[in-house]
Amino acid sequence: MKTVHINNVELPAVGIGTWNLGDDPNCHDDEVAAIRAGLNRGARVVDTAEMYGEGRSERIVRDAIKGYRRDQLFIIDKVLPTNAGHQRLSTSLEQSLHNVGTDYFDLYLLHWRGTIPLAETVDELEKMVTHGKIRAWGVSNFDVSDLKELWSLPKGHHCVANQDLYNLEERGIEYDLLPLMKKHHLPLIAYSPLAQGDQLSGKLTSDRLLQEIAANHQASVYQVMLAWTIKDSGILTIPKSSSVAHAIANWQAGELNFTPDERAALARRFPRPQKKQLLATI
Ligand SMILES: NC(=O)c1ccc[n+]([C@@H]2O[C@H](COP(=O)([O-])OP(=O)(O)OC[C@H]3O[C@@H](n4cnc5c(N)ncnc54)[C@H](OP(=O)(O)O)[C@@H]3O)[C@@H](O)[C@H]2O)c1
């Protein structure tokens, strides 16, 4: 399994996303079982947010991680931009910690930029580190200009990760953002790595090349899509699944290595961007 370092912690490059989990009470047991299927195989990262179902996804995480060693888990939570200032950040964080049933988060992200000045958010995040409520902080949906502004702040370089949309059909960040992050040793957390189960364009699952490469590896097209997001170093991928079978497949995709020919064919079929693109978000 490939690994990635975040805040000096070595983690398996396949983690677990949780958006939309918890929305249907009838799916509770399956969703808990899906998260545990990943954890039981060795996954350590669980990604959630106060926004997801207004705490419902955090509470699924709470139920799923019961009985697991806390120090083996790496839990990521996110604060909404409207809550990311002096007034509300600590209250939001306390609520999220309560929902997840833990004393601290390994990583706490600003979910996306809002109107609260970055300096105020950073100040508040730093306080939470000092209070032991979070081990580290990072950002999400940040582009090059956002990172440069962040790094111009006195403690801006304490940011340990940036979470952005990244999958086979959303490679825009490879033009300038990813090279900049690599230069600064800032890991990427790739969200929606399966293009939301191919719901974005609907073209990936029927793609001949992806089907061919999947057959070469006795894998599914989804596993190929997921493996592609972590083919380079410094990337953590966080697929979401509410099914045990999919969760296991996603973990196994971390072992899939492309041949040089497959890499080249994928690069021809899904070309790198040749110019700056607006940061894609969901
Ligand atoms: N920071 C941000 O702004 C942001 C934005 C979006 C997402 N995220 C994070 O990133 C995570 C992942 O992104 P996402 O949830 O948008 O989409 P995703 O992980 O790209 O795709 C999830 C979809 O793929 C399906 N799926 C998962 N594994 C599969 C497999 N092995 N075979 C076939 N289908 C499979 C799931 O269905 P089943 O449930 O039936 O398996 C679900 O419909 C989120 O859950 C969240 O934690 C962050």
Cα→Cα distances 212→160, 207, 237, 262, 273, Å: 37, 9, 23, 10, 24
- CA of 77 from ligand 1 middle (Å) equals 16
Q: How far is CA 70 from CA 74, 145, 204, in A?
A: 8, 36, 37
Q: What mean pLDDT do residues 238-251 have? A: 98
Taking Cα atoms as reference points, which of 19, 79, 83, 81 lies closest to residue 46?
Answer: 19
Ligand 1 pocket: which of 20, 57, 74, 194 to mutate (most atoms within 8 A of CB): 194
Is the CB of 97 within 6 Å of ligand 1?
Answer: no
State in Å: Cα 266 to ligand 1 middle. Answer: 22
Residue 163 alpha carbon, nearest atom of ligand 1: 1
Say yes or no to pLDDT of 200 above 90: no
pLDDT tens track for 136-152: 999 999 999 999 999 99
9 pLDDT tier (thresholds 50, 70, 90): very high
Quick check: 169 pLDDT over 90? yes
pLDDT tens string 19-71: 999 999 999 999 999 999 999 999 999 999 999 999 999 999 999 999 999 99
Cβ of 141 less than 6 Å from ligand 1: yes
Q: How far is the CA of 21 from the centre of ligand 1 (A)?
A: 10
Which residue CA neighbors atom 9 of ligand 1 most closely? Answer: 191
52 is catalytic: yes
Distance, CA of 230 to CA of 238 (rounded, Å): 10
84 close to ligand 1 (CB < 6 Angstrom): no
Res 114: pLDDT: 96
Domain 3-269 has CATH 3.90.25.10: no
What is the reported pLDDT for 201?
82
Q: Is 222 in the pocket of ligand 1 (CB under 6 A)?
A: yes
Ligand 1 atom with minimal separation from the 239 CA: 19
Length of the chain equals: 282
3-state secondary structure of 219: coil
Token readout for 62 is 């709470």
Give me the pLDDT at residue 26, please: 96
User: Tens of pLDDT along 120-140?
Assistant: 999 999 999 999 999 999 999
Ligand 1 centroid–CA 87 distance in Å is 32
Pocket flag, ligand 1, residue 241 (CB < 6 Å): yes
Whether residue 214 has pLDDT greater than 90: yes
Nearest atom in ligand 1 to the alpha carbon of residue 111 is 1
Query: What is the rounded average pLDDT of the residues 90-110?
Result: 98
Q: Please tell me the predicted confidence (pLDDT) of residue 139.
A: 98
Q: How far is the CA of 220 from the centre of ligand 1 (A)?
A: 16
> Distance from the CA of 193 to the center of ligand 1, in angstroms?
7
Ligand 1 pocket member 113 (CB < 6 A): no
Residue 162: the pLDDT is 98
| pLDDT higher than threshold 90 for residue 202 | no
Q: Is 170 exposed, middle or buried (0-12, 13-18, 19+ CB in 10 A)?
A: buried
Ligand 1 pocket mutation, candidates 31, 241, 282, criterion most atoms within 8 A of CB = 241
Helix (H) / strand (E) element for 188: namely: strand 188-191
Closest CA to 73 of 137, 161, 9: 9
The mean pLDDT of the chain is 97
- Out of 52, 108, 166, 222, the active site residue is 52
Q: Are strands 74-79 and 137-140 parallel, antiparallel or unpaired?
A: unpaired
pLDDT in tens, 103-121: 999 999 999 999 999 999 9
